Amino acid sequence: MKRIALLGGMSWESSIEYERVINTAVRERLGGAHSADLLVRSYDFDAIEALQQRGEWDALGELLAGDARRLQEAGGELLVICTNTMHALAPQIEAAIDIPLLHIADATADAVHAAGLHTVALLGTRYTMEMGFYRDRLAETGITALIPDEPDRTLVHDVIYDELVRGIVSPESRAEYLRIIDALVERGAEGVVSGCTEIELLVHEGDLDVPLFPTAKLHALAAVEVALAE
């Protein structure tokens, strides 16, 4: 079993889900009392959020790249960034390490293609929806990602930062998300990518009439596949 290095705590609500999915999958695959071999770097998310809001992406890149190197030096054999948004810094982080970085958009694209779909709704932070790093990576595989118009795009972003990263799961916000998803389906979306790992706390597959692609779960399961590969 390869040792998985997790850059997490962005927020810890999703990082815990990564650990749960990874450990559960390893136990199911190997049986007995097996669990995953993990190294975890968890952050004070308030500091991360402040840097994001100020647009200090270079500082964030230096922080994550440095910690990725330290995880590698501690014995990590595979790096997983436990958040969609911070994959905006994946090239900088990847350049700082010699171990593989498993990109969350790649795991998502594999699942979308396996479902035979080509157009999806993408919900996430403003950074994930508006910056090119995620949609462009999906597009390279032939997948079109639709995002909400304003003011719905701001609503999706604000619910993540004002509620979900603080552990608040509101029925009112769920209803708003479902309304926004319905509008994107009317525009041609065949499925929904929960492009922020915390969204999986709010919207579940049973809430929708189209497939949901829970990126945190897909990413975590992809990490297990690599960790247990011969």
Same domain, 108 and 204: yes
H or E element, residue 103: none
Summarize the confidence of residues 55-59 as an average pLDDT: 94
Residues 123 and 163 placed together within one structural domain of the fold: yes
Which member of 108, 196, 197, 215 is catalytic? 196
Q: Kindly indicate the confidence band of residue 12, based on its pLDDT and cuts at 50, 70 and 90.
A: confident
Residues near 222 by Cβ (< 8 Å), separated by ≥ 6?
Answer: 102, 106, 107, 110
pLDDT (tens digit per residue) in 156-184 = 999 998 998 888 999 999 999 999 999 99
Is 144 annotated in the active site?
Answer: no
Q: 114 and 202 share a domain?
A: yes
Sheet architecture: strand order including 212-214: 144-146, 119-123, 191-194, 212-214
Catalytic residue (choose from 82, 83, 108, 215): 83
The whole-number pLDDT of residue 219 equals 96
The per-residue DSSP string of 164-188 comes to: GGGT---HHHHHHHHHHHHHHHHTT
Q: What is the domain-level CATH number for residue 194? A: 3.40.50.1860
**How distant is the alpha carbon of residue 121 from its chain centre?**
15
Residue 82 among the catalytic residues: no
SS3 100: coil
- Supply the range of the domain harboring residue 207: 104-214
